[in-house]
């Protein structure tokens, strides 16, 4: 019999929908793809040049497992400059994407049966990564009344003797909501008082559209920093999803465990991609501002359009490139006899009948919702919204 633990894991729904949409595209079907969360921009040219230069210079060998020292130093510089976080290079572990960093973090933290509190709506991979590492995901639904943010009181009510860690993801995938300083302070106090770890996934920190500021929970004091593993990477900020560079910042003893683990699993992250990440972090940040400005326009367009469609509701995302939309008013309606029972059947019908791809909220622990990723140009977004409107008008 093959491994029970792995058989209990479901494939990442974001990638499943992505594969289905790509398959349809390859067949010549014109798909409007609001599915996978991946910037549609090309990696900025100075970053690509740095990689080409690295190849030319023969920077093609193993690096130290946790990343080559200049990159670790650059990450420390970035964390200090952007996040008021003070780390030493030996506290940084560079990995093959933030997803890998999350895997390392849970592998380092969890003993069998340890519980991890995951506020819902959550990013698809958290529960599965916890399970892979022997932990038990404890899903804690956050209500739309609280802008989908979990309160310290709700966490306190869910604590058991086995609670080991809490995931904080701000800005949040899929809701786009951002935790304020005071909300984070309450969670930090609770974590310190109950001896819990925080996994703080900050991968969308640069994609914020309003006045709100990104605060890293680890910056709120020495005690909480000592209990936090910060997760970040270059995928979203610099349109570098395919390069696979993520990193953790954590106390040195945890970094050491993750590095040992990585030394037997993957060794260092790709040497050339590390040099590209160095250029991304130390180079001009104008490219980030340009991409953000494009996302902001699309966000405004999407919010305004979705709010105008009867039966759909959403709360405005303050960050990320996602819009999380309540489609429960459509449940019970049918499209040419095919009944919409939940967000999965809605997403499936919309893809088949209107060729619009999005991710059903079941994947994020919020079955009444669907996620739109506005990682496509405005023209395509307009076409997608038109198709959606037409589809909804045809429902009985």
Q: Residues interacting with ligand GLU, by CB under 6 A? A: 12, 14-15, 36-38, 99, 123-125, 173
Nearest distance from residue 364's CB to ligand GLU, in Å? 9
The interface partner of residue 15, options being ligand GLU, ligand PMP, none and the CB cut-off 5 to 8 Å by kind, is: ligand GLU
Query: Residue 34 in contact with residue 356, Cβ under 8 Å?
Result: yes
Nearest distance from residue 235's CB to ligand PMP, in Å? 4
Contact code string over 203-242 relative to ligand PMP, x by CB under 6 A: x-----------------------------x-x-----x-
Instruction: Give the bridge partners for 198, in sequence order.
Output: 166, 228
**Which residue lies nearer to ligand GLU by CB, 338 or 362?**
362
CB-closest chain residue to ligand PMP:
97
Instruction: Give the bridge partners for 311, in sequence order.
Output: none
Could you tell me how many residues of this chain bind ligand PMP (CB under 6 A)? Answer: 13
Residues 22-61 within binding reach of ligand PMP (CB under 6 A): 37
**Which residue lies nearer to ligand PMP by CB, 68 or 247?**
247
Nearest distance from residue 361's CB to ligand PMP, in Å? 15
Nearest distance from residue 55's CB to ligand GLU, in Å? 26
To which H or E segment does residue 103 belong? helix 98-109
Is residue 123 part of the contact set for ligand PMP (CB under 6 A)? yes
**Which residue lies nearer to ligand PMP by CB, 105 or 330?**
105
Residues 288-347 within binding reach of ligand PMP (CB under 6 A): none
Residues 6+ apart with CB under 8 A from 102: 125, 126, 129, 199, 201, 231
Cα Rg, the chain, nearest whole Å: 21
What is the b/e burial string over 334-347, where b = at least 16 CB atoms within 10 angstroms of the residue's CB? ebeeeebebbbbbb
Residue 285 burial (CB < 10 Å; 0-12/13-18/19+)?
middle
Question: What are 188's two structure tokens?
Answer: 């930090």
CA distance 215 to 231: 13
CA distance 23 to 8: 26
Among 39, 44, 97, 137, binds ligand PMP (CB under 6 A): 97
Among 201, 205, 318, 326, binds ligand PMP (CB under 6 A): 201
Residue 308 burial (CB < 10 Å; 0-12/13-18/19+)?
exposed
Q: In the complex, which residues of this chain contact ligand PMP (CB under 6 A)?
A: 37, 97-99, 123, 169, 173, 201, 203, 233, 235, 241, 246
């Amino acid at each position: 019999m093959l491994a029970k633990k792995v058989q209990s894991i479901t494939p990442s729904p974001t990638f499943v929908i992505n594969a289905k949409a790509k398959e349809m595209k390859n067949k010549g079907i014109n798909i409007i793809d609001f599915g996978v969360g991946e910037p549609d921009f090309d990696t900025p040219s100075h970053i690509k040049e740095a990689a080409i230069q690295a190849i030319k210079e023969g920077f093609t060998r193993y690096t130290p497992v946790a990343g080559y020292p200049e990159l670790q130093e650059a990450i420390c510089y970035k964390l200090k400059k952007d996040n008021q976080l003070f780390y030493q290079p030996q506290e940084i572990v560079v990995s093959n994407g933030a997803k890998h960093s999350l895997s390392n973090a849970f592998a380092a933290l969890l003993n069998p049966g340890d519980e991890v509190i995951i506020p819902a709506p959550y990013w698809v991979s958290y529960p599965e990564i916890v399970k892979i590492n022997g932990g038990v995901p404890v899903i804690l639904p956050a209500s739309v009344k609280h802008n989908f943010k979990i309160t310290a009181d709700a966490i306190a009510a869910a604590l058991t003797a086995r609670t080991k860690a809490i995931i904080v993801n701000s800005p949040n995938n899929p809701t786009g909501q951002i935790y304020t300083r005071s909300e984070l302070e309450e969670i930090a106090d609770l974590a310190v008082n109950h001896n819990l770890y925080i996994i703080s996934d900050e991968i969308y920190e640069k994609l914020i559209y309003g006045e709100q500021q990104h605060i890293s929970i680890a910056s709120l004091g020495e005690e909480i920093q000592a209990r936090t593993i910060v997760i970040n990477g270059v995928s979203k900020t610099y349109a570098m999803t395919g390069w696979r560079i993520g990193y953790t910042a954590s106390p040195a003893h945890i970094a050491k465990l993750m590095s040992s683990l990585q030394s037997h699993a993957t060794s260092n992250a790709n040497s050339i991609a590390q040099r590209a990440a160095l250029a991304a972090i130390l180079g001009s940040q104008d490219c980030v501002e340009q991409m953000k400005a494009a996302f902001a326009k699309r966000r405004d367009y999407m919010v305004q359009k979705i709010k105008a469609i009867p039966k759909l509701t959403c709360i405005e995302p303050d960050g990320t490139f996602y819009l999380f939309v309540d489609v429960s008013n459509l449940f019970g309606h049918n499209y040419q006899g095919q009944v919409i029972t939940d967000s999965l059947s809605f997403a499936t019908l919309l893809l088949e009948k209107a060729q619009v791809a999005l991710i059903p909220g079941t994947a994020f622990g919020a079955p009444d919702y669907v996620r739109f990723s506005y990682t496509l140009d405005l023209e395509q977004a307009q076409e997608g919204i038109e198709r959606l409107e037409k589809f909804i008008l045809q429902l009985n």
